Amino acid sequence: MDNTGYSPEEPMAAIATALAPAALGIIRVSGKKSIELVANVFSRPKALLNASGNTIVYGWIFDPSSTKNQPIDEVLINVFREPKSFTGEDMVEINCHGGPAVVKEIYNLLLQNGFRPANPGEFTFRAFINGKADLTKAEAVYEIIEAKTDVSVGRAAGRLAGNLFQLISEIKKKLVNVLASIEAEIEYPEDEETIADAFDDFQLRQVQQELKELCNSWSNEKLYQDGAKIVLCGKTNAGKSSLFNTLLKEERAIVSDIHGTTRDWIESWVSFGGIPARLFDTAGLRETEDTIEQSGVCRTMDLTQEADLILYVVDATLGLTQEDKNFLQDFSCPKSVAENISKKTPIVLVFNKCDLSKNVASEIQKELETLCFSIEQIVELSAKTGKGTAKLNQIIYNQLISSTKKEREIPGLGSARQKQAAQAALESVEHGIKAAKEGYPLDAVVQDIEDALDCLGEITGVVTPEDILDTVFSKFCLGK
């Protein structure tokens, strides 16, 4: 955001709701004299001008330039007085009927009467510069807007409530205490008692551990924000589309006994224990002369290369074919691979149609034990009856969460920007610990701690280079 191209107090307006037929539409305005400017196009100007903050005024919006004073719409106006508003400025929210035409007409009328269009994220930006929200809370607003599951919303809401800001503040206090002790030793070196207790190495190492945990939290938060990519694959007619529909709890994919029915992948968002995931139903893997189906098979293979988790579906009535073994051989982790070596994409082997088979799945599991590759999880189910899908959902959740750090009660970082700043703070603290241990002058340790404080300040917005503000607020939609 170019925050030098306009006055922060300049009256601005934006449509805050989607331009689609709806019961209500909302136009937000903020800035100096914004209430007075709205009063110029309102049927009850005195009532609006005299309204207290956090009150609602009823009336009509009309065009004052019209000779007939033609009313545009019947509205309710929410009045917010500075500093007790979202932006810290005088604000008005016009609640009108939700037809796109009337919403745009009121918005254009405001632009003709003293307002300018708001930039994306400018309402939240003004809340930040007016001290109504720190940068972690501002970013949490964007997280909530983009959240894909209720769990994602809850995690972002914690940051909006200030839990991350509070944690950062506590870490900064510890760093300031260490800094004060060191500077006391530098200032009064002749005081032996001060020298003995000046440098609190224990507290600095405590900060180091807290910053490590904070940095590790980003892998969890990123999973809940961005989601995972899960690919259903397997031979034709194994029941992938049926399982896709069952996991989505809706009929999205065409289901047929005819081989090659699915010729291209389709996808949909689904939640596994609150973790959002893009679930892909793909073309069945088989040799075919059909060029269109061949293209679908190639796309399936490309998707599996990018997947976070593969659900390989096997028809339990037919057993494990050589084609199945070849695929699993290529994508699974060899049994000889040590645990500390990076594994391939995890695979969950799904035996479908178990309602039609008799102990075939257990026989296949015995066969797998003789092969040279390992499968993370094996599950038996029937996509037709739904039996076993609850277990599969739990297995998927466990597999996704296993790639991150364990769940913790402490607040987590909400963006890659925050992770980068926290990592830089951690590196500065670790460098300070090393410098003190190796006997470097305490001035060097002081510099490292000050650098760490600056990095933490970037997370909350105490230190705010212009390019950081541009990165944060330019992603927002209009009206926020």
Run of H or E including 234: strand 228-234
CA distance 297 to 286: 8
433-451 burial code (b ≥16 CB/10 A, e <16): bebbeeeeebeebbebbeb
| 35-to-16, 62, 77, 116, 125 alpha-carbon distances in Å | 17, 15, 10, 14, 20
Per the CB < 8 A criterion, the answer to whether 454 and 463 are in contact is yes
- Which pLDDT score is estimated for 177? 85
Run of H or E including 421: helix 416-437
In the 8-state DSSP scheme, what is residue 457?
H
- Which pLDDT score is estimated for 394? 92
Q: Scanning the structure block, which residue is given the tokens 């241990």?
A: 437
Q: Scanning the structure block, which residue is given the tokens 């291209």?
A: 264
| 310-to-46, 228, 250, 264, 348 alpha-carbon distances in Å | 65, 11, 21, 17, 6
CA distance 95 to 181: 56
- pTM for the whole thing? 0.74
Q: Which amino acid is it at 430?
A: E
- Which pLDDT score is estimated for 240? 83
List, for residues 371-423, the tens digit of each pLDDT value: 655 666 888 888 888 888 899 999 999 888 876 655 456 789 999 899 999 99
Q: Which amino acid is it at 479?
A: G
Contacts of 128 (CB under 8 A, 6+ apart): 134, 135, 138, 461
Return averaged pLDDT per consecutive 10 residues of the chain, 480 residues in all.
59 93 95 95 96 96 83 96 94 95 96 93 89 88 87 90 92 88 66 47 89 91 90 83 84 49 69 90 61 57 80 84 76 46 72 74 64 70 86 90 63 90 94 85 86 91 61 64
CA distance 234 to 240: 7
- Which pLDDT score is estimated for 368? 65
In the 8-state DSSP scheme, what is residue 87?
S
Question: β-strand 373-374 against 71-80: which pairing, if any?
Answer: unpaired
Q: Scanning the structure block, which residue is given the tokens 């997280």?
A: 143
Q: Sign of dihedral through CA atoms 250, 251, 256, 260?
A: negative
Structure tokens belonging to residue 409:
């009660």
